[in-house]
Structure 1
Amino acid sequence: MSVVTRFAPSPTGYLHVGGARTALYSWLVAKAQGGEFVLRIEDTDRERSTQPAIDAILEGMEWLGLNWDRGPYYQTKRFDRYKELVDQLLEEDKAYKCYCSTERLEKMREEQMERGEKPRYDGHCRDNPNASGDSYVIRFRNPQEGSVIFDDLIRGRIEFSNQELDDLIIARSDGTPTYNFCVVVDDWEMGITHVVRGEDHINNTPRQINILKALNAPVPYYAHVSMILGDDGKKLSKRHGAVGVMHYRDDGYLPEAVINYLARLGWSHGDQEIFSKEELVKLFKLEDVNKAASAFNTEKLNWLNQHYMKTLPAEQVADALKWQFDQLGVDTSTGPALTAIVGLQADRVKTLKEMAAISRYFYEPVTEFEEKAAKKHLRPVAKEPLEAVKASLSDLTDWTAESIQAAINGTAEALGVGMGKIGMPLRVAATGGGNSPSLDVTLAQLDKQKVVERIDLALAFIAEREASA
């Protein structure tokens, strides 16, 4: 059997973390078996479905590298086929018209709840030849005896009594098909063999299986993935940072880190933490997915992101870093290669957004100094060391980390002071702040003339400080 999986989001918002993990697991199942991965947009909710949401889903999938083999299919373009099959079920007496008013249904549910019963349609129009009215919906004639049993590939055997399942609506009063019916038809006609989705769909599964059987369609395998919790053990929400996956791009995460993290968020392979996408395809199995909910851990994601910033090809990381600089409006053509910045800063930050923010001085003029760093290091006592190291650096003809370090060392020896007396004022002068990578390699990435000009600016700052004392 050729494996075909699908990811079928509703375009009512961004591609969130839970949806992205479901998409990844579905993708991995298909790729591990040499099968096909289908993307389907379930846009039957016309009021809430939007084109921006569709675009956000596609952009998120592409950024994560979850390429689809077929699609995207849109349910709104298949209404004629759904109607054809609804009519077929009506003709075969596997569905019926329900004329019950909204008022009657609401009263019925209220009475059921007062009696402590589970709200469900009472079958008033199921076999009522006198049922009539100006408006009707079409309900599926669910079997009233027996059970629906399926072997969930994650959770094991699950059974529902048909007596618990009411006759769900498969077409609304305006003729449009409902979610549960569209899903069934699409999974059947698109040849879906494995349905991987969230545990919130477990109650839909027996209803969908009964419709599949009524259509004489094969029943796929089902795997229901547990929810994702926040660090505090509560359902993941926006306050936990449960935003669209593209927000992770915006916040400076690499797609490789997000993919690795999402895969491990409910699945494991021994004690291994780092997985390339190729390794995931080779090792992933649905039976290894946890039944219990998984807790989102931002620290773990940060750790993974730093790992990938340090180990992926620098050119690849630099491409993503350039996007961050572009968002800041920083022209990176005026300074060192971004691959050099990756090499200097990857050990010092958790995200590319942080990397760009602390690296602006490589590309932009230093016009002012961090208040705390300047107060501590740009004091009158630093005037002589700065003037001396400026002279030493200005005389260099070979602008390399080695020659720069030698010039700093020579200045310290000539003045008979410790390295800190020169290094820290020089760092603040050259970068505008008190933190940077090693001073020699930092200055080597800056133009010599820029460094000299920044030292002059620091000396002017000291002079002004002296004058106002």
Structure 2
Amino acid sequence: MKENLKADGVRVRFAPSPTGNLHIGGVRTAFFNYIFALKYGGEFILRIDDTDRARSKKEYETEIIKDLNWFGIKYDGFYRQSERTKVYEKYLEVLKEKDLIYECFCTEKEILMSKEIAVKSKKPYIYNGRCANLSSYEKEKLSGQFKERGIYPSIRLNIAKVLKAGGNFKAVEFEDAVHGLLSFNPKLIGDFILKTEHNRFTYNFASIIDDYDIGITHVIRGEDHISNTPKQILILNALDKIPPVFAHISLLYGKDGKIMSKRDAAANIEYYKKEGYLPEAILNYLAVTGNTFTVRQFENGKEKISEKEIFSDILEIAELFDIKKVRGSSAIFSEEKLKHINEKWLQSIKTERLIKILIEKFNSEETLKKLQESYGETVFVEIIDFLKNEFKTVKEILAAIKIFFEDFKTETQEIKYDIKLKETLLDNLQKIKSDKFDENAIKNAVKESVSESGKTLKDCYETLRLCITGRPDGPSILKIIKFMGRERTLKRLYGRQ
């Protein structure tokens, strides 16, 4: 059997269908392929599977490529199935010469009726192969009828002949890199269609022909494709070709236990862009979801193996990635965990990059310019750096920047706070001179207010926070006041009636 993880000449592919925008599950599949190629020094291929011409749209293809670029997932080669019809015809002709395919004159309507009968009988639908042994007269007659209707006979793989040519093997087996040995009874598959009555190649045929023809060594894809794999292996067996290594990764599930799809808002990439998640953080999260990364360390001469969740860069993820450690069980998507990872990545990026993101992705050039002009370049950078370490998303940071403006208004005008305590705090903060207005001086003013009011330290800081930011929680109020300075702080407190 072929080596399960052959490192030489690794070539993987991501093959989305342009029938909708790229969703979060698709990004995970693309990323697993990408880091697998990085790990083994291989190639990552992007192939657009647009055999469904009725639903495939060029604009979706464009958006898919745009999103992959945003994530930094660069491909080494590009193919589009709609441009490869001649390739499929070539391999279909080989099967014809080997007498392993036949024309089927059962219409889509007839097949649909057969499937409905199977469902009512609570049995799996298996094509009965009635067109496999038609006489020349029957074929000629039916062919004429199809021609009159402007349709073609579909082309089916003759599984019985494929099995016989291969030595009458009893099962279609393959060693899945994630799930281990998987076995299927070929008699339960039925002679399946390679080319439809509309003269179009089916997914299973075009996909595996492409995988072989462009030299794909490992097919890493969602576990919803497991049922397609025995059919694809049978096609390659019929052509006397060796299948690639298959690795079927778990799908992403929402908290409701349902598979996340293109229709789910939480699966939409645009949502995460607008919320201010970093692409690396999303990839980091997707990598550890349904997966295990282990690091070996030595402490006091003893080896210690620990799990790793936050990475320094994409290369580190690739180096530690092991396809055999990907769990076969369901992967539950959690935005809270994603936020946690995004928070760590935000803290690690340079302040200059955050400023660039705010300008280019959030159209915040005017907002940042206003902050810079109000506080000066040095304090401006200090504020951005401070906020970078206090929030979980770029969108939250942008909202917090507005706190520092003189015309800042809270989301709600009705903020309940202790007016008398506010007056005490104001009196004590006024005593601090402008050139002495630092964190220690502010702390002492708050302590003095505690003594005078009989309130707790917590009460004082909560009142300050409410009056300055309009929120009961958030980053260090001491640092916010320090950045704002004496005049802005007192003005904000005076403005609270």
Same fold (TM over 0.5): yes
Native 8 Å contact 1:408 1:422 kept in 2? no
Shift of 1:193: 0.3
Give the one of 259, 262, 281 matched to 1:235. 259
Task: Please say which of residues 31-40 and 75-84 is displaced more in the overlay.
Answer: 75-84
Matched, 1:261 2:285: yes
Match of 2:31 among 17, 24, 32: 24
**Residue 452 of structure 2 corresponds to residue 417 of structure 1:** yes
1:264 deviates by 1.2
Map of 2:235 onto structure 1? 211
Matched with 2:129 is: 123
Question: Which residue among 57, 61, 65 is the counterpart of 2:64?
Answer: 57
Match of 2:179 in 1: 155
String of CA shifts for 1:253-293, please: whole Å, max 9, x gaps. 22222112111112113422223322221111111111222
Please name the residue that 1:467 is paired with. none
Q: Which amino acid aligns with 1:275?
A: F
Deviation at 1:49, TM superposition (A): 1.8
CA distance in 2, matches of 1:224, 1:397: 64
- Relative to structure 1, is the Cα distance of residues 322 and 435 closer, same or farther in structure 2, using a 3 angstrom cutoff? farther
In 2, Cα distance between equivalents of 1:70 and 1:235: 30
Structure 1 stretch 107-116 or stretch 266-275: which is displaced more? 107-116
Contact persistence 1:314–1:342 (CA under 8 A): yes
Establish whether residue 386 from structure 1 lines up as the match of residue 430 from structure 2: no
Secondary structure of the structure 2 residue equivalent to 1:443 = helix
Q: Is the 8 Å Cα contact of residues 10 and 37 (structure 2) preserved in structure 1?
A: yes
Cα distance, 1:203 vs. partner?
A: 1.3
Instruction: Select the residue among 327, 343, 346 that pairs with 1:306.
Output: 343
Q: State the distance in 1 between where 2:450 and 2:253 align.
A: 60
1:333 corresponds to: 369
Q: Is 1:295 aligned to residue 332 of structure 2?
A: yes
- Report the counterpart of residue 245 of structure 1 in structure 2: 269
2:483 to 434, 445, 455: 445
The separation in 1 between residues aligned to 2:129 and 2:325, in whole angstroms, is: 42
In 2, distance between residues paired with 1:31 and 1:104? 48
| Separation in 1, partners of 2:98, 2:112 | 29
Deviation for aligned residue 1:137:
3.2
The match for 1:280 is 317
2:82 aligns with 76
Compute the displacement of 1:347 (Å).
Answer: 5.2
- What is the distance in 2 between the residues matched to 1:315 and 1:262? 26
CA contact (8 A) 2:157 2:194 kept: no
Match for 1:344 among 375, 386, 398? 386
Q: For 2:179, give the aligned amino acid.
A: R
The answer to whether the 8 A contact 1:257-1:305 is kept is: yes
Matched letter for residue 362 of structure 1: F
SS in 1 for 2:102: strand
Equivalent in 71, 96, 99 of residue 90 of structure 1: 96
Measure the CA separation in 2 of the matches of 1:422 and 1:242.
40
Q: Which runs of 5+ in 2 are unaligned?
A: 1-7, 164-168, 295-306, 373-378
* Partner of residue 397 from structure 2, selected from 338, 344, 355: 355
Q: Deviations over 1:159-190 (max 9, x none)?
A: 22222222222222232222111102211121
| Counterpart residue number, 1:140 | 156
Counterparts of 2:50 and 2:261, CA distance in 1: 23
Deviation of the 1:360 alpha carbon: 1.7
Q: Name the residue aligned to 2:14.
A: 7
Assess, with a 3 A threshold, how the Cα gap between structure 1 residues 118 and 239 changes in structure 2: closer, same or farther: closer
| One-letter amino acid matched to 1:417 | E
What RMSD in Å do the two structures reach over aligned CA positions? Answer: 3.3
- Corresponding residue to 2:210 among 167, 186, 203: 186
| Alpha-carbon distance change, 106 to 315 in structure 1, aligned in 2, over 3 angstroms | same
AA in 2 matched with 1:19: G
- 8 Å CA contact 2:428–2:445 kept in 1: the answer is no
1:32-80, CA deviations, whole angstroms, 9 ceiling, x for partnerless residues? 1100011111112122222332233223322222221112x22122223
Say whether 1:376 aligns with 2:412.
no
CA distance in 2, matches of 1:416, 1:226: 60
Q: Distance in 2 between matches of 1:173 and 1:142?
A: 17
- Give 3-state SS (helix, strand or coil) of 1:445's partner: helix
Query: What does residue 105 of structure 2 align with?
Result: 99
- How far 1:20 moved relative to its partner? 1.6
Distance 2:117 2:70 in 1: 50
Runs of 5+ in structure 1 lacking a partner?
463-469
Return the TM-score normalized by structure 2. Answer: 0.79
Query: For residues 55 and 4 of structure 1, do their structure 2 counterparts lie closer, same or farther at Cα, with a shift above 3 Å needed?
Result: same
- Offset of 1:307 from its aligned partner? 1.8
Q: CA deviation at 1:426?
A: 5.6
Which moves more between the two structures, 106-115 or 52-61? 106-115
Contact 1:95 1:141 in 2 (8 A): yes
Displacement after TM superposition at 1:295 (Å): 1.9
Q: Which residue of 1 aligns with 2:40?
A: 33
Change (3 A) 1:229 1:450: same
Tell me the residue number matched to 1:465: none
Offset from partner CA, 1:288-307 (integer Å, 9 cap, x none) = 11122222233322222222
Q: How many residues align?
A: 450
- CA-to-partner distance for each residue in 1:73-115, whole Å, 9 max, x for gaps? 2212222332343344334433222222334323433444555
* Change over 3 Å in CA distance of 1:447–1:162 after alignment to 2: same
1:48 maps onto 2:55 in alignment: yes
Aligned partners of 1:151 and 1:222 also within 8 Å: yes
Distance 2:251 2:181 in 1: 19
What is the alpha-carbon distance in structure 2 between the residues aligned to residue 36 and residue 267 of structure 1? 22
Asked whether 1:396 is paired with 2:447, we answer no
CA distance in 2, matches of 1:224, 1:411: 60
Give the secondary structure class of the aligned counterpart of 2:267.
Answer: coil
